[in-house]
Amino acid sequence: MTTRTILLPSPRAFCAGVERAVEIVERLLADQGSPIYVRKQIVHNLHVVDDLQSRGAVFVDELDEVPPSATVVFSAHGVAPAVRAEAVRRGLDVVDATCPLVTKVHAQARRYAAAGDTVILIGHADHEEVEGTMGEVPEQTVLVETVDDVTGLTVSDPDRIAYLTQTTLSVDETTVIVEALRSKFPSLRGPAVADICYATSNRQAALSAVVHEADIVLVVGSENSSNSRRLVELALRNGTPARLIDDADELQPEWLDGAQVIGITAGASAPPRLVDEVVRRIASLGPVEIIERAVAVEDMTFTLPLSVRQPASTEVGRGN
């Protein structure tokens, strides 16, 4: 039997913001016991949510499902100010697991609006991160999803306009939209550093480095994970068949018929163990050679909220 090659682009799977959000819920469960309420999915991954749910986390859509005075965690995607105000009104004990990179986008939206700019937010209307960012200054924020949206866009003052982006978008497609905005509005301002987060960019760059060598790409991630879906789209744009799977159980052996080189990656919200399980499942079908391709080394860490940090004397090997 011919040996297949498995290409593993790196970085892949969990990023620092996801690790932080999951650890927040885990620590609360360990310290306070269940239930710990979480507004929306803490991150967009079925396995993460199911695991935390089995340990006592209760996921709710809205805060009116949370009992008064209970502990509630805001997900990594962030929330609008109106949600924070509702939590205060209901006397909830809030622990904020918003990714710091999303928090940065919220702050930028407020700054641009305070300067009198119309804020153009590039993103997907149905994504929780977009809902939270739009909620910062809704009267001054306009959502753009495609280049076609730019064509029909009008603003009150074309000289006072700025853009921001959802952090989990396709780098290539976002660049095209920004270029269209800048062509239409020469005075367009934007962030000094692109809002698309380092983890999303790194995972796309890593896949780009191997996609032309692969006969098929498997992306481990859940259907509602924006950054995972962007990886699938990246492969397809480059002419390589691609599948999004939650785990090894969803792998169909017939997908691999005729495939000698298989690229496997994972979105930033997928646990690394799920990739390992997919690799083992493919190896069970016949001999494989595993090749790791790294384009970057991620050493980013984010500090936990003070309310869930252990005393310094019990924190072994953890910085401030």
- Residue with tokens 């003070």, as numbered in its chain: 306
Q: What mean pLDDT do residues 129-135 have? A: 96
Listed by start position, the domains of the chain span: 4-14+198-294, 16-99+304-308, 101-184
The verdict on domain 101-184 having CATH code 3.40.1010.20 is yes
Is the bond preceding 67 in cis, omega lying within 30 degrees of 0? no
Closest CA to 101 of 66, 138, 129: 129
Q: Catalytic site residue 86?
A: no
Catalytic, out of 62, 65, 129, 298: 129
Per-residue model confidence as pLDDT tens digits over 200-228:
999 999 999 999 999 999 999 999 999 99
The verdict on domain 4-14+198-294 having CATH code 3.40.1010.20 is yes
269 is in an annotated binding site: yes
pTM, entire model: 0.91
pLDDT at 173: 86
118 is in an annotated binding site: no
44 is in an annotated binding site: yes
225 is in an annotated binding site: yes
To the nearest whole number, what is the mean pLDDT of the chain? 93
- 7's enclosing H/E stretch is strand 4-10
CATH architecture designation of domain 16-99+304-308: 3-Layer(aba) Sandwich (3.40)
Closest CA to 140 of 108, 181, 175: 108
